[in-house]
Every structure is written in C-alpha cells, then in structure tokens.
A and B are shown apart, each in its own frame.
Chain A
Amino acid sequence: AQKITQTQPGMFVQEKEAVTLDCTYDTSDQSYGLFWYKQPSSGEMIFLIYQGSYDEQNATEGRYSLNFQKARKSANLVISASQLGDSAMYFCAMNALSYIPTFGRGTSLIVHP
C-alpha cells in the first residue's frame, strides 16, 4: 500500500521566519514523484513543488524548498521568509506507477504578523 502522513494538523509561524512542514511517505515503488500543494481559504489547489525519487538535488522553487531524505522516506516542505499570504492548508502528495495518486490529510499554516 502507498501512504502519505502529515503529522502536524496546525502550525504557526511569525512573518519573515522560516517554517518546515513535515511529510513522510511509504511506497514499495522505486520510481515515484512527491508533490506539495497549497490550498488557501478560497479553496483552489495550487501546485508548489515537485521532487522525483531519483533526483539527487533537493527541489527548490523560489521561497519553497523540499528537504528530501530518501532513506528516511521524508519530503518536508520548507518555506523561507514567511508571508501573510502563506497562510493556507498544505498538502503533501505522491504519485507512483503501481499506485493511485495519494494525498496526505494536510497541515494548516497560520502566519502571524
């Protein structure tokens, strides 16, 4: 079976500080993709960042970086220099050829001014 676990239901961070959102995964596939999505209070789902299982470098997209530790099966999202607009739900997800796309239950991030 394939599974994504996000253990932090809610996180708080001060504006301009960095925050790490945790994600662990479980799969028997060797080839898979890991994704993070953002869902603001308006409800749309927005793709943030992707990491392939064979990628040697951690993915980065602007203020977002993915801390990929393959041996530990973790794919944490790091948001640097948090902004008020970063307040949202964040979902970790995984694709693998043998399994259907799987999402975690999400982490609610609140950025304080």
Chain B
Amino acid sequence: NAGVTQTPKFQVLKTGQSMTLQCAQDMNHNSMYWYRQDPGMGLRLIYYSASEGTTDKGEVPNGYNVSRLNKREFSLRLESAAPSQTSVYFCASSERRLAGEQYFGPGTRLTVT
C-alpha cells in the first residue's frame, strides 16, 4: 500500500502560470482533502470532497479549483499562480468524515516568484 501519494514534490512557478497538483490514495477512502501549510498558521483547508462526485470549499478556496476524478484521485489546480500561493500543500484522505483520522501525503512545496 502506497497510502496517499502526491506529485510533484517540488515546483517553482512564475506569477500567472497554471499547474495541477495530483493526489491519489489506495485505501478506498471516501473523503479527500487539500490543505496548505504556512509558517505559524497550521493547516488550512482549501477544498474537500466528502465522497466521490462531491466537492466543497474550505477555509481558503480563492484562487484554487479541484476535481474529484474518481474515488482514488483528487486534484488541485492553480489557474493563475500568485506569490501568496507560495506554501506547502498537503493532500489527505479519511474513511469517514467525522470520526476518521486523516492520512496525509508527503506534501508539495510550491514557490511562486
């Protein structure tokens, strides 16, 4: 079992460029999440998908879009990157939304110049 995988691990973008962060889980989990982690801010939820076919906004959704491609895959897209989106991005999954612990991917370190 690979758990939760994310690609890429590192990325540098110029302002205005677009990119998609990929996430996949092999644990047959229903719920998937995208977070960003900034120094001193903990993790903030960008978007989540409670189950296949549904997506909802989190705390900081502006500038991002998501796609729940199937039960395994949940991608995060930056349409026009801004320096404020420089962060570490984590994908996570859980079996149940309320009581289920989240399993995290290794993270993507994104720098926007």
Which residues of A are interface residues toward B (Cβ below 8 A)? 31-33, 35, 37, 43-47, 50, 52, 91, 93, 95-97, 100-106
Contacts and interface: CB of A to CB of B under 8 A. Distances in A.
A47 B4 CA distance: 13
Interface of B: 33, 35, 40-45, 48, 56, 58-59, 88, 90, 92, 97-104, 106-107
Contact of A45 (B44, B98, B99, B104): B104
Given A45-B90, A45-B104, A103-B35, 17 more contacts: A31-B98, A33-B99, A35-B101, A44-B106, A45-B43, A46-B104, A52-B99, A91-B43, A93-B43, A95-B97, A101-B33, A101-B45, A102-B45, A102-B59, A103-B43, A105-B41, A105-B42
Nearest to B58: A100
B39 to A, nearest CB: 10
- Ranked nearest first, the 9 interchain pairs of A and B with the lowest CB-CB distance are A45-B104, A47-B101, A105-B42, A103-B43, A103-B42, A33-B99, A100-B45, A100-B58, A95-B98
A101 B99 contact: no
Contacts, number: 57
A43 B42 contact: no
Interface centre among A45, A104, A106 (most CB of B within 10 A): A45
Nearest to B45: A100
A43 B107 contact: yes
Contacts of A50: 99, 101
Contacts of B88: 43
A33 B19 CA distance: 34
A103 B91 CA distance: 14
A95 to B, nearest CB: 5
Nearest to A96: B98
Contacts of A37: 102, 104
A47 B103 contact: yes
Nearest to A91: B42
Contacts of A47: 101-103
Contacts of B45: 100-102
B106 A101 contact: no
